[in-house]
Amino acid sequence: MTVSLRPRNSVNPKSSQNLPTFNNKSNTGSLPAFASGPKLTGARTLAVEKLNKNFGSTSILKDISFEIEEGEFVCFLGPSGCGKTTLLLCLAGLESPSSGEIYKNGQAITSEPPSQRDVGIVFQSYALFPNLSVYDNIAFGLVNLKWAKDKIREAVRGLVSLLSLEGHEDKYPSQLSGGQQQRVALARALAVSPSLLLLDEPLSALDAQVRTRLRSEIRDLQQRLKITTVMVTHDQEEAQTLADRIVLLNEGRIEQIGTPWQIYNEPATPFVADFMGVSNLIQGVISAPNQVSCDQFSLLCDTQGHPVGTRVQLLLRPEDIACASPPRNAPTNLLEATIAKIEYLGAVVRAHVVSATGLKLKVDISKREFDPARHAVAQRLSLTIASNDVRLFAQ
């Protein structure tokens, strides 16, 4: 075959590591290998510059700028109403931005209509042609390109086997399950070998199990075809497992761009910290260099040179609070607390604790450390928090 299986570009293993450019003030030492992003050629295939979008007086997108490399999988992540779908539609040419430019391989394409953009698009609602069979749906774009019949047949056969749709070619969309319909939509988008694949919450309408399976299939497919892909999602887990890089949006602005590892471990703002996973956010004031006082209780942490008296917010991940032996190689905070509530989440047990000073924290206890006798409501715990696990946001 086949159009769609041909690699878009070869991976160059010697290309320079693409070091994170955002929030590189980490004090965790050298980054793990997977944290540094994909090994890519470095060719910028798509660039967005100062994009704004207004509907009447409400502004949906504010000064959006970023770049996407060839072969990269980028997720637009954010709560509903943050503008991520509008941004995707701007890339597709289905929405026109109020100002700003979109470049593809260095050429401005901002005013090019969708049909000239060479994109494949997949929607949450599948948007399959209800009156056409699976075969005709997949072949639809190829017929537009006036391909010969046997060439189309060959290409469709390749896509059908690629997306494990064998035996369904003659069925109509309403005869298929949601997962199968979304595969057909993917096959239809991939058939014309677009240079950019846009996915608008493609998994949100599916049930949990199908979603997880199709998620890993999409990732495998993208890796095999090396097709530059942008996906919109509101599910942080989905973004973390799929994306090479995440563009995190909130109220029309970019909060942070980075690899899933960076976004989780080095959040740029309290919003990012809160949005990604579970967090304890504590208000405080810097009382001395590398010391923050929060409500009759003070915490050692890296204050990043901010002057004494600065109001700050501290992020403590529940899994970074230990209730056993203190970690060795960093200054450590000790805290006495009482368990108020226990939640069994499977792999971990989450304890909601209250310190003697009234500070409320969520603490994760791994299944292996969990001791039902010691970790019960009203029991006292000694908590240790390594100073380098505390993340500080100056306000």
Partner 1 sequence: MSAQSLRGLNAFLFAHSKPQLMERSDWLMRWVCLAYCVAALCTIVLPVGALFLRSLNNADGAYVGLQNYLTYFSASALFDSFLNSLIVSLVTATLVVPMAFAYAYGLLRTCMPFKPFFRGVALIPLLIPGVLKAIALVYLFGNQGLLREWLFGHPLYGPIGIVGASVIWTFPFAVLIMLTALQHVDQRLYHAAAVLKTSVWRTFWHVTWPSCRYGVTTAFLVVTVSVFTDFGIAKVIGGDFRVLATDIYKEVVGQQNFQMGAVISVMLLIPAFVVFLLERQVAGKQMAQFTGRSLPFTPKPSVWRDGVFLGWCLTVTLLIASVLAMSQFASLVKFWPYNLSLTLDHYAFQIEGVGWINFGNSLWMATLAASFGTLIVFIGAYVVEKGRRDAWLRKFLQLLMLLPMAIPGLVLGLAYLIFINAPGNPAGWLYGGMAILVISTVTHLYSVPHLTCLTALKGLDREIESVGLSLNTPVTRMLTQVTLPVCLAALLDVWLYIFLCAMTTLSTVIFLYAPDTKLASIAVIHIDETGRVASAAAMAMLLVYVCLAVRLVHYLIAQKVLRKFQPWRSFE
Q: Letter for the amino acid at 293?
A: S
- With CB under 8 A as the contact rule, the residue among 34, 43, 129, 308 that binds partner 1 is 129
Distance CA 93, CA 96 (A): 6
Q: Which is nearer to partner 1, 129 or 344 (CB)?
A: 129
DSSP summary character for residue 329: S
Nearest to 187 by CA among 201, 206, 166, 209: 166
140 binds partner 1 (CB under 8 A): yes
Q: Please report whether residue 288 would count as binding partner 1 according to CB under 8 A.
A: no
Cα–Cα distance for residue pair 21/73, rounded to 1 Å: 17
Dig out the tokens for 70 from the structure. 């060839």
**How many residues touch partner 1 (CB under 8 A)?**
36
308 binds partner 1 (CB under 8 A): no
Is 203 among the residues that bind partner 1 (CB under 8 A)?
A: no
Tokens 């537009």 correspond to what residue? Answer: 144
Residue 101 vs 302, nearer CB to partner 1: 101
Joined tokens for residue 30: 């050298």
CA 123 to chain centre: 18
Nearest-angstrom CA–CA distance, 222 and 162: 12
Q: Measured from the CB atom, is 31 or 206 closer to partner 1? A: 206
Residue 376 has a CB neighbour count (10 Å cut-off) of: 11
35, 51, 156, 192: which one contacts partner 1 (CB under 8 A)? 192
Q: Is 131 in the site for partner 1 (CB under 8 A)?
A: yes
| CB-count burial class (<10 Å; 0-12, 13-18, 19+) for 103 | middle
Retrieve residue 89's tokens.
């539609």
Nearest CB to partner 1, comparing residues 32 and 130:
130
Residue 177 binds to partner 1 (criterion: CB under 8 A)? no
Q: Helix, strand or coil for residue 141?
A: helix
Among 53, 84, 188, 362, binds partner 1 (CB under 8 A): 188
The DSSP H or E segment spanning 159 is: helix 149-162
Residue 83 tokens read as 């503008």
Q: Which is nearer to partner 1, 171 or 306 (CB)?
A: 171
**Binders in 58-97 for partner 1, by CB under 8 A:** 92-94, 96
Rounded CA gap, 268 and 322, in Å?
Answer: 24
Q: State which residue, 34 or 129, has the beta carbon closest to partner 1.
A: 129
Q: Which of 174, 209, 325, 329 binds partner 1 (CB under 8 A)?
A: 174
Does 261 participate in binding partner 1 (rule CB under 8 A)?
no
What b/e readout covers 12-23, taking b as 16+ CB neighbours within 10 angstroms? eeeeeebebeeb
User: Among 3-11, 123-131, 153-161, 372-380, which window interacts with partner 1 (CB under 8 A)?
Assistant: 123-131
Q: 145, 376, 377, 394: which one contacts partner 1 (CB under 8 A)? A: 145
Of 9-17, 167-175, 227-235, 379-387, which part binds partner 1 (CB under 8 A)? 167-175
Helix (H/G/I), strand (E/B), else coil: 107:
strand
Q: Name the one residue in this structure whose structure tokens are 């540094």.
A: 36
**Nearest distance in Å: CB 130, partner 1:** 6
**Strand, helix or coil at 286?**
strand
**DSSP string of 88-105, one letter each residue:** HHHHHTSS--SEEEEEET
Q: Counting contacts by CB under 8 A, is residue 55 touching partner 1?
A: no
Q: How many CB atoms lie within 10 A of CB 106?
A: 8
Per CB under 8 A, the list member of 30, 80, 115, 329 interacting with partner 1 is 115
Least CB distance from residue 175 to partner 1, whole Å?
A: 5
Q: How far is the CB of 114 from partner 1 (least distance, A)?
A: 4
Q: Is residue 205 a contact point for partner 1 (CB under 8 A)?
A: no
Q: Which two tokens stand for residue 124?
A: 């949450």
Question: Rounded to the nearest whole angstrom, what is the least distance from the CB of residue 138 to partner 1 in the complex?
Answer: 11
Decide if residue 52 touches partner 1 (CB under 8 A). Answer: no
Q: How far is the CB of 224 from partner 1 (least distance, A)?
A: 22
Binding site for partner 1 (CB under 8 A): 92-94, 96, 110-117, 119-121, 123, 125, 127-133, 140-141, 144-145, 172-175, 188-189, 192, 194
